[in-house]
Amino acid sequence: MIIGIERYGAYLPKYLLERKLIAEAWDFPVIPGGISVRNYDEDSITMAVEAGLDCLGEYDPNGIINTSSIDGLYFATTTPPYTEKQCAPIIANALDLRSDIICLDITNSTKSMSLALARAYETIKAGKANKILIIGSDSQKPMPESMYEYQYGDGAAALLIGKDEVVVSIEDYVSTSDNVIGPWKRAEDKFIRSFEGKHENIYGYSRNIIAAFKLLFEKTKIDPKSIAKAAIYALDPRNAEALAKKLGINSRAVENTPFLEFGNTGNAFAFMTLMLALKRGKTGDLIAFGSYGDGADAFLLKILDKQKLRELRRKCRGIIGYKNSMVMLKNYGAYLSKKKIIETERFIRKSSPVRNWRDEKFLYRMYGMKCNKCGTIQYPIWRACIECGEKDNKTDIKLKKRGKIFTFTLDHLEGGNYYDTPVPRCVIDLEGGGRILLNMTDIENPQENVKIGMDVEMTFRFIHSGANYNNYYWKCRPIRVLRKEEEEE
Amino acid sequence: MVKKGIKDRVAIIGVGCTKFGENWELNAEDLLIDAVYEAYKDAGIKDPQQEIDAGWVGIQYYFTGLAGCTLADAIKLYGKPMTRVENFCASGTDSFRNACLAVASGVCEIALATGVEKLMDEGGAGLPGFREFGHPTLPLPSAPAMFSMAATRCMHEFGWTKEDLALVAVKNHQNGVHHPKAHFRKAVDLKSVLNAPMIADPLGRFDCCAMSDGAAAVIITTPEIAQSYNHANDFILVKSNALAVETMAPWYKPSFGFTSFTSTVKAAKMAYHEAGITNPRKEISLAEVHDCFTITELINVQDLGFCAMGKAAEELRAGTFNADGELPVNPSGGLKCFGHPIGATGCRMIYEVTKQLQGRADGIQVKDPKIGLTHNLGGAYTVASVTILGKNEK
């Protein structure tokens, strides 16, 4: 049985903070590049939904795959919005997955996502599932005025693991565990901490990765020189090259991590490096993939079909699509606000988890209905048709997450408060039918940029924390990545 | 459509209204008692316990008051049917409608319709309650935003500009200068309206009516009983009162165009039919319409049949709706000058039109009016109530 990657996808939030703005804020030495910054209404869960949608083909011109074919969702993060309550079911709902699936949160380590990959491999191998979606998503909140601010970017990566349409196979893997003190965050800690870095770098990071790959090469009897690509978790590109050298892997095989470009995206980081490595892959290429965190995971992967791999790239926006559509933050203050390091929560609304649970189908799964009498496609789902009043004679249908603005306003009032930054409220006619009202996010200078007739797409976001739990719903945004650009890519 | 109807079967014999505004020192009880006692005096009610059979009070917000006792406790009129009515911003007119039905049915001889709201106690930044109201996660635009979405669409379809909207504010503020009970009695110029801070783009501060406190009261009876009260010779007859309720979520209705409010169109059709009005522009002498926002007035005058679709801005510029124009709209100054204490507004409109028809308007008196109209609109253009009043032509 060949088990491996059938599809992949990624997500990077819209905003990029150049490291020089951090340097300016704190009078730090300047480091080049930037960090990706989530918006105030994003977290690990919402970014996971984005990467999941990208992986499943939401932006594929041929359309999204049948989501009921997926038998499991393994979600990996070090920054779960909940410490008690699973995140994966929220993501599974937003992605409209079945309920008779295996949902897992694998947390607390930056190699949680490679553990998820190994678990998916084993589950499918055991015949318990055909397709499993794994998503890694992280949004670390580093302490202000610390060098951690240079490190952490926000983002998510997703892989669809299966046995039927494998493009990159999992040949074998090794997982090691080591109680080394790397970065940590206790339950009561607001910010990530770490001890003196040199010890961790030598005895934690380097030693564990080398040990894991040595075991893998012994086990698979693969000559390290035959490795065509090496995608290894590394915060410094020189680290990966040094490790490759020690392992006997050709230094030209080593893929640069995107650390300089947008920072360490936690669980997604190693996988983003892998996705970048796949870009130039050829049929038969062997890939060494390694991740780190309380031990190391080493995988041997193989590209089965270069042509199919190229097709996969066109089915998603991926890192390149999202990276090319990022916008630079103008100053450090915007970063503090978007990351909610300075709390600027707009409003809390009275909420009821019961009501949101009851309305799951149209709130999370984004279903509407078609009246069987007059044919009107409408949102949300209700008993009688809004146009003709026909009762209980309808078909629930999944709505498209893309449409055009019919009318809008820029609302400065929310929950009885006046805000200087307005919320665009957009009435949208969805492609394929249905009209909906959504707030717009990821928009700059709305007075100039929101217009009747503009194309928008839906994005899953944190709305408010009424009833002391996370209320999520969809918003709209301008089309984040234009197809034309993708084709040029 | 309308079955037996109430035309000419209900007479208004007394009206009362407080000064609208930031009535910091008054509570809902003060406001109600002032409005009701003014109406008693106007009608010539001497012994309310004997004469008043039932009362209604229009209130939107729970913090203003719950249940019929809000009215009963204010005026200490106990042991009678007293009912709180809530129908968004049309709550006041719905209170009046219920009272009319009771008199027309013969259940009551003299009935009291009131409305009150105490908004200022909740703070001034937009209508309160938007944290508690509605679905927990579906978007809920503010009231200005609801109407602003219509403004955006009208500008797109009719070519209206921000200046067209602003001219509504200029006209109504000019009218309000003369009204002693208005919240604002200051004229505004076009430039100030256009330069005001944005509330919900394209609506700025002067495009929106204010948060205010106030109360109004109307006393009604049959035309026969009216003969023995103060206004025996000039009581006002209710020609019709129609209420139409549409969806609270027009943004989910694919056929909704955002340039016309279906609730108003339907309520007007019913009200005109019952009153026997076939050409509203010619037959109606004046109208108090719901100008909660400038855009609302432009859409209202079209929906009420005062002018053709898309032509409201043109007609406004031509002076058609000025206090001395062909069809005066909001000669009182409207919600723009009075503010909008939700439950009170509908009864205040009845107060205004009654006094206009009697030739004793508080502010600008319209010349020799015969038929007057009130239009009260609530929610996301959800609830519309249209009332036609006329003089008792002998």
Residue A439 with chain B: CB contacts under 8 Å: 139
Tell me if the domain spanning B143-209+240-391 has CATH number 3.10.20.600. no
B137 with A452: Cβ contact below 8 A: no
Over residues A308-334, the mean pLDDT reads 95
pLDDT score recorded for residue B219: 98
B356: closest CA among B236, B240, B249, B245?
Answer: B236
Q: Is residue A152 part of a domain?
A: yes
Interchain contact B260–A (C-beta under 8 A)? no
For all residues of chain B together, what is the average pLDDT? 96
Q: Is residue A353 part of a domain?
A: no
Q: Which of A308, A338, A368 is the last residue of a domain?
A: A338
CA distance B136 to chain A (A): 5
pLDDT score recorded for residue A489: 42
Q: CA dihedral in degrees (A28, A30, A34, A35; nearest 10)? A: -20
Cα gap A217→A250, rounded to integer Å: 14
pLDDT score recorded for residue A236: 81
pLDDT score recorded for residue A197: 81
Within 8 A by CB and 6+ apart from A290, the residues are A209, A212, A213, A230, A231, A232, A233, A270, A296, A297, A298, A299
CA A383 vs CA A275, A369, A373: distances in Å: 46, 10, 13
B148, closest residue in chain A (CA to CA): A409
A229 DSSP assignment: E
Within 8 A by CB and 6+ apart from B330, the residues are B171, B172, B175, B287, B288, B289, B291, B297, B321, B336
Strand B383-391's sheet: what is its strand order? B82-85, B54-58, B111-118, B213-221, B11-17, B236-245, B383-391, B371-378, B286-288
Cα gap B129→B131, rounded to integer Å: 5
Give the angle B321-B247-B159 at the CA atoms, nearest 5°: 40
Q: Is B353 exposed, middle or buried (0-12, 13-18, 19+ CB in 10 A)?
A: buried
A309 lies in the same domain as A442: no
Q: In this complex, which of B126, B129, B149 lies closest to A407 when CB atoms are compared? A: B149
Residue B332 phi, psi (nearest 5): -70, -25
A224 DSSP assignment: G
Q: In the predicted model, is pLDDT for residue B394 greater than 60? A: yes
CA distance B204 to chain A (A): 10
Q: In the predicted model, is pLDDT for residue B5 greater than 50? A: yes
Residue A379 with chain B: CB contacts under 8 Å: 252
B130 with A414: Cβ contact below 8 A: yes
Tokens representing A143 are: 């302490």
Q: In the predicted model, is pLDDT for residue A317 greater than 80? A: yes
Q: Is residue A306 part of a domain?
A: yes
A387, closest residue in chain B (CA to CA): B253
- Whole-model pTM? 0.95
pLDDT score recorded for residue B393: 81
A182 lies in the same domain as A281: yes
Query: What are the tens digits of pLDDT across the range A99-137?
Result: 999 999 999 999 999 999 999 999 999 999 999 999 999
pLDDT score recorded for residue B379: 95
Query: What are the tens digits of pLDDT across the range A6-47?
Result: 999 999 999 999 999 999 999 999 999 999 999 999 999 999
Q: In the predicted model, is pLDDT for residue A486 greater than 50? A: no
Listed by start position, the domains of chain B span 11-124+212-226, 143-209+240-391
A193 lies in the same domain as A297: yes
| DSSP β-bridge partners for residue B194 | none
Cα gap A301→A286, rounded to integer Å: 6
Q: Is A311 helix (H, G, I), strand (E, B) or coil?
A: helix
A426 lies in the same domain as A329: no
A291 DSSP assignment: E
Same fold, B11-124+212-226 and B143-209+240-391: yes
| Residues B53, B110 contacting (CB under 8 angstroms) | yes
A193 lies in the same domain as A333: yes
Q: Is residue A363 part of a domain?
A: no
B210 DSSP assignment: P
- Among all chains, which residue has been given the structure tokens 């089915």? A315
Residue B137 with chain A: CB contacts under 8 Å: 349, 351, 356, 363, 463-464, 471-473
A410 with B123: Cβ contact below 8 A: no
A119 lies in the same domain as A240: yes
Query: What are the tens digits of pLDDT across the range A387-416?
Result: 999 999 999 999 999 999 999 999 999 877
Q: Is residue A179 part of a domain?
A: yes
Q: What is the DSSP string of A458-480?
A: EEEEEEE-GGGS-EEEEEEEE-S
CATH number at residue A426: 2.40.50
Query: What are the tens digits of pLDDT across the range B56-101?
Result: 999 999 999 999 999 999 999 999 999 999 999 999 999 999 999 9
A232 lies in the same domain as A153: yes
Residue A421's domain comprises 401-488
Q: Distance from CA of residue A254 to its chain's centroid?
A: 24
Q: Is A180 exposed, middle or buried (0-12, 13-18, 19+ CB in 10 A)?
A: middle
Cα gap A96→A367, rounded to integer Å: 9
| DSSP β-bridge partners for residue A440 | A476
Query: What are the tens digits of pLDDT across the range A134-152?
Result: 999 999 999 999 999 999 9
Q: In the predicted model, is pLDDT for residue A367 greater than 50? A: yes
**How many Cβ atoms from other residues are within 10 Å of residue B175's Cβ?**
23
Q: Is residue A94 part of a domain?
A: yes
Domain count, chain A: 2
Report the catalytic residues of B.
Answer: 89, 340
β-pairing verdict for A327-328 and A15-18: parallel
Q: Counting one residue from A and one from B, how many pairs have CB atoms under 8 Å apart?
A: 141
CA distance A407 to chain B (A): 6
What superfamily does domain B11-124+212-226 belong to in CATH? Thiolase/Chalcone synthase (3.40.47.10)
Q: Which of A317, A338, A359 is the last residue of a domain?
A: A338
B198 with A438: Cβ contact below 8 A: no
**What confidence category does residue A488 fall into, taking pLDDT thresholds of 50, 70 and 90?**
very low
Q: Is A229 exposed, middle or buried (0-12, 13-18, 19+ CB in 10 A)?
A: buried
Q: Is residue A358 part of a domain?
A: no
Q: Is residue A394 part of a domain?
A: no
Q: CA dihedral in degrees (B312, B315, B320, B321; nearest 10)? A: 30
Cα gap B323→B321, rounded to integer Å: 7
CATH number at residue A287: 3.40.47.10
A134 lies in the same domain as A42: yes
A369, closest residue in chain B (CA to CA): B252
Q: In the predicted model, is pLDDT for residue A457 greater than 90? A: yes
CA distance B262 to chain A (A): 13
Tokens representing A440 are: 């717009």
A346, closest residue in chain B (CA to CA): B131
Q: In the predicted model, is pLDDT for residue A487 greater than 60? A: no
pLDDT score recorded for residue B124: 66
Query: What are the tens digits of pLDDT across the range B107-154?
Result: 999 999 999 999 998 876 778 877 778 899 999 999 999 999 999 999
Q: What is the DSSP string of A417-458?
A: EEEEEEEEEEEEEETTS-EEEEEB-S-SSHHHH--TT-EEEE
